[in-house]
Every structure is written in C-alpha cells, then in structure tokens.
Structure 1
Amino acid sequence: MAVIKTNSEDVKLLARLLRAEAEGEGAQGMLMVGNVGVNRILSNCLDFKNIRSMDDMVYQSPGGYESIQKPYFYQKARESEIALARRVISGERTWPATNALWFYRPTGDCPDRWWDQANSGRFKAHCFFVPTQTDCPRVYQY
C-alpha cells in the first residue's frame, strides 16, 4: 500500500530524482533519497509545510534539490529507478534515511548537526539529518 498518493508520472519524476541525486551510490543510496522525498511530502513541518505532492517536493524552491538544475535530471526515467521509486512510495524505509528530511555531501566527516538538525548517519558520500519527533511527528508515523 502506498504511503503517499501518486500516479505514473509522479513515479517517473521520483525515479529521475533518485538517479540524478544518488546514482553513484547505487540502489541503496537512491532508496535513501526516495525516503527523504517521501518524508518531505508526509511531514508538513519545518521547511516542508504545504509540500503535498511529488511536484511540490521535487521542485521546491528554495530548499529543493540541486539536481533539477542539471540536464541529467531531465533524461527519461529508466525501469530500474522506476522500480526503486515504487518501493519507496510503497513504504520501504532504509536507514539512515528512515526519518530524514535532509541530506548532503560534505567534503569530510558528517557534522553532528546541520542547520540544527541531528545527524542520523552516513551512507557512502551522503550524510542524513532528522528532525525531532516533537517538531515533525508525521515523519515518525509510518
């Protein structure tokens, strides 16, 4: 069962985002990017109030994804990434992105906090950051 409402175009959009943001980190890294995206749609808190759709999440400005500014993002979604997007939309969660709303690629170690959000862990080049359960309870409900 899907944890967010989507259609086939939403799935393809998420698939393109997964590839553009984390293709170099393999399927697991792309699943984590998807977790962050789904969490942003569900959360309705902090930087993500009124983000209710895939389009809202992917194209959020300011605060959205860098990759949407690059031509690679606009290439057709591949079946492998579409399958990953479906898994995330169906509720598959991957640590350390399970409850994360943010990630970034630092030049060195992950900081303990980033913009006052706690580090939940690192996967390859990306560090993931989570809100508190008090600030964003919906991120912790599914």
Structure 2
Amino acid sequence: MAVVKSTSKQLDLLARLMRAEAEGDGQLGMLLVGNVGVNRVLADCLDFRNIRNLEEMVFQRPGGFVATTESYFYQRAREQDRNLARRVINGERFSPGERSLWFFNPGGDCPPQWYNQWNTGRFKTHCFYSPTVADCPSV
C-alpha cells in the first residue's frame, strides 16, 4: 500500500528525478533519492510544511532539486525507473535514506552537518542528512 498518493504523472516525475539525480550510483542510489523525495512529501516540518504531493516536492522552489534544471530530467521515464519509484512510493526504505530529507554530492568527504542537519551516511557519491525527531517527528 502506498505511503503517499500518486498519479501516473507524479510517478513518472519521481522516476525521472531519481534517474537524473543518481543514475550513476545505481539502483540503490536511485532508491535513496526516492526515499528523500517521499520523506519530503510525508514531512510536515522545516522547509517542507507546504509540500503535499510528489509534483510539489519535485518542483519545490527554493530548495528543490538541481536535476530539474537539466535536460536529462526531461527525458521520458523508463519502465525500470518507474518500478524503482513504485517501490519507494509503496514504503520501501533504505539506509542511510530512511529518514533523510536532504542529500548532496560533496565531491569529497561528507561534512558532519549540512544546513544544521546531521549526516546519516553516504552511498557512493551522495551524503544523506536527516532531521532530529524533535525538528521533524513526522518523518
């Protein structure tokens, strides 16, 4: 059962975002990006108080995803990417992205904090950051 509601269009948006942000990190990297996206929809805290669906999450400004400004993001979603997006929409969680609301590629070591959020781990090129339970109990 889905943890966030989605339309076919929103599923494609999430699939395209996951591919554009992390295809180079393989399927698990893409799933981790998907975890962050779903977490942002579920969160009712911090920068995500007004995000209520996948489309709002993908195109959030400010604070959205850099990939949405690149032409690669606008290519058609592939079925394999849709399948990965379905997995995170249906609630699958992967470490270190289970509670993460942010990730980035630092081009080196992961800083211990990013925008006052603590590093929860790294997967290949991306560092993941999660809020404290006090800051964001809904994630």
Is this a same-fold pair by TM over 0.5?
yes
**Percent pairwise identity:** 60
In the TM superposition, residue 48 of structure 1 has moved relative to its aligned partner by: 0.7
C-alpha RMSD of matched pairs (Å): 0.5
Map 1:126-137 onto structure 2 (within 5 A): 126-137=126-137
**3-state secondary structure, aligned to 2:119:** strand
**3-state secondary structure, aligned to 2:138:** helix
In structure 2, the partner of 1:59 is: 59
Mapped to 1, the partners of 2:107 and 2:31 lie a distance apart of 22
Mapped to 1, the partners of 2:8 and 2:107 lie a distance apart of 36
My pick for the range that moved more, 75-84 or 3-12, is 3-12
Q: Encode CA deviations 1:83-102: one digit per residue, 9 max, x unaligned.
A: 00000000000000010000
Mapped to 2, the partners of 1:54 and 1:79 lie a distance apart of 18
Q: Which runs of 5+ in 1 are unaligned?
A: none
In structure 2, the partner of 1:102 is: 102
In structure 2, the partner of 1:75 is: 75
Count of aligned pairs between the two proteins: 139
Map 1:40-59 onto structure 2 (within 5 A): 40-59=40-59
**3-state secondary structure, aligned to 2:6:** coil
In the TM superposition, residue 14 of structure 1 has moved relative to its aligned partner by: 0.4
Mapped to 2, the partners of 1:30 and 1:44 lie a distance apart of 23
The letter of the residue matching 1:34 is: G
Give structure 1 regions of 4+ aligned residues with deviation exceeding 2 angstroms. Answer: none
TM-score under structure 2 normalisation?
A: 0.99
TM-score under structure 1 normalisation?
A: 0.97
In structure 2, the partner of 1:93 is: 93
